[in-house]
């Protein structure tokens, strides 16, 4: 007799963890620097032609809809392409999404460690002519003021639903 049985799970999701990266101003930032505020984290890269800027715009729109509650949230963009996403590049790129955004980069090892902690898939995809794109997970993570995972948003959620959910949690 076959069957799938049943699955019982308990405990917390093991998403997130300590990181030490460099922000768009060239300053060292660790996950602990954001304690006391929620972090809305997205992993992507500035050379992304479509999904990353669209997702960051949704985050920006949702963030703006929070009104006075937005001081309790910091939107964070962590690059998956540290070779091209220097602090200067991130600073220019994030201007389009709002001054509250924190862009983080580092060396390849630091980025790989942060991605592993957040269960983010990253793969370099060669393109004709020697260029490349980056395949990566497209999830937005909400981390609590204590640094622990709260929930995630898929990019299809849209800014209205994301802002509504965030507002209820703040």
Give, rounded to a whole angstrom, the gap between the first and last alpha carbons of the chain: 49
Please give the pLDDT value at position 130.
87
Of the CA atoms within 13 Å of residue 87, those in its CB half-sphere come to 10
Task: Assign domain 20-169 one CATH number from 3.40.30.10, 3.40.50.1370, 3.40.190.10, 3.30.2180.10.
Answer: 3.40.30.10
Residue 158 makes CB contacts below 8 A (sequence gap 6+) with 58
Please give the pLDDT value at position 155.
74
For residue 135, which of 52, 20, 58, 15 has the smallest C-alpha distance?
Answer: 52
Whether pTM > 0.95 for this model: the answer is no
- Domain ranges within the chain, ordered by starting residue: 20-169
Per run of 10 residues, the mean pLDDT along the chain (length 170 residues) is 48 81 97 96 94 95 94 97 97 95 97 95 92 93 96 89 93
């Amino acid at each position: 007799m076959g069957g799938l049985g049943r699955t019982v799970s308990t405990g917390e999701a093991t998403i997130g963890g300590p990181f030490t990266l460099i922000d768009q101003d060239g300053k060292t930032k660790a996950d602990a620097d954001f304690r006391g505020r929620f972090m809305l984290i997205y992993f992507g890269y500035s050379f992304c032609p479509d999904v990353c800027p669209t997702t960051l715009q949704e985050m920006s729109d949702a963030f703006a809809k929070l009104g006075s509650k937005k001081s309790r949230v910091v939107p964070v963009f962590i690059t998956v392409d540290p070779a091209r996403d220097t602090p200067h590049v991130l600073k220019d790129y994030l201007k389009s999404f709002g001054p509250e955004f924190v862009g983080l980069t580092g060396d390849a090892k630091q980025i790989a460690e942060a991605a592993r902690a957040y269960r983010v898939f990253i793969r370099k995809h060669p393109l004709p002519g020697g260029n490349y794109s980056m395949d990566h997970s497209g999830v937005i993570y909400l981390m609590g003021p204590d640094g622990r995972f709260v929930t995630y948003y898929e990019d299809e959620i849209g800014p209205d639903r994301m802002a509504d959910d965030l507002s209820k949690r703040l």
